Structure 1
Amino acid sequence: MTELTLDERLRLTRRTMQLLEDWGLAARDIAGLLQLPETIKARHIGRFHDQDVFPDDPAVNRRVAYLNRIEQALHTYFPRNPEMRKLWVRRANKQFGRRAPVAVMIEDGESGLISVLSHLDCTFAWDLTGSRADYRRAS
């Protein structure tokens, strides 16, 4: 988020907080999922919804970017049904060992975010494996 203006960072923070609240995450889960610094207590998480921006930390920025891409992928899967987006995230999924995607993200941290994003967005998985680079060399 370093290259974003303060207003852009505030909009991104609010949008991310709204997404996490729509998924039903508690403040402690939000702090853990975003890997917020330990100086930010769970009772202060509400400030991000109202006035503060997320810390400009590489780990936080990366996780916010993953969440943003997950949200975009869910919009692609369910373009006209926001309730299905929320339901998909909270419902047990065979792909994740009968765990809900939101549980995978919370319990597994960054690797959980990557797993969920890879499941939803094949282009992300393609880029991760290096297949894209191999394809360019072959053509």
Structure 2
Amino acid sequence: MSDLSHDERLTLTKRTMSLLESWNLSATDMMVLLQLPESVKARNIARFREEEPFPDSAEVNRRVSYLLRIEEALQTYFPRNPEMRDMWVKRGNKQFGKRAPVAVMVEDGESGLISVLSHLDCTFAWDLTGSKTAYEAAG
């Protein structure tokens, strides 16, 4: 997000906050999931809903990117049923040892975000494995 304007960053922040709130995450879980700096306190998380973009750090930007890709993948999985998107994230899943995907993301940090995104978006998993590079080299 470093190359985005303040208004563009604020729009992405609001979109991300809306997503996290739809998953009923606490302020503390949001802070952990986004890896917000220690200077941001849980009681101040509300400021990101309206007036202030997330801190412009590589860690936060990467996690926001994962979350927005997860949101897009869920929209592909459940195009006509937004309630199912939120329900899928909150329900235990065999793929994650019967843990809810949202728990995987919060408890496992960045690797949890990557696991959930890889499960939902096969193109992301394909890029991660190097298959894309091998495919392009063969072509």
TM range (shorter): over 0.9
Q: Which residue of 2 aligns with 1:80?
A: 80
Root-mean-square deviation (CA, aligned residues, Å) is 0.4
1:92 is matched with 92
- Measure the CA separation in 1 of the matches of 2:87 and 2:117: 16
Identity of aligned residues (%): 70
The runs of at least 4 aligned residues of structure 1 exceeding 2 Å deviation read: none
Normalising by structure 1, report the TM-score: 0.99
Normalization by structure 2: what TM-score? 0.99
Q: State the Cα distance separating 1:138 from its structure 2 match.
A: 1.4
- 1:137 deviation in Å? 1.3
Hey, what does 1:23 align to over in structure 2?
Answer: 23
Deviation at 1:28, TM superposition (A): 0.2
Cα separation, 1, equivalents of 2:110 and 2:100:
16
- Is 1:64 matched with 2:64? yes
Query: What secondary structure, in the 3-state scheme, does the structure 1 residue paired with 2:4 have?
Result: coil
Matches of 1:92 and 1:26, distance apart in 2? 19
Equivalent in the alignment of 1:109: 109
Unaligned runs of 5+ in 2: none
Cα distance in 2, alignment partners of residues 126 and 57 from structure 1: 26
Letter of the 1:95 partner, please give it.
Q
In structure 2, C-alpha distance between the alignment counterparts of 1:136 and 1:55, rounded to whole Å: 36
- 1:15-64 deviations in Å (ceiling 9; x for gaps): 00000000000000000000000010000001100211100000000000
Work out the number of aligned pairs and report it: 139
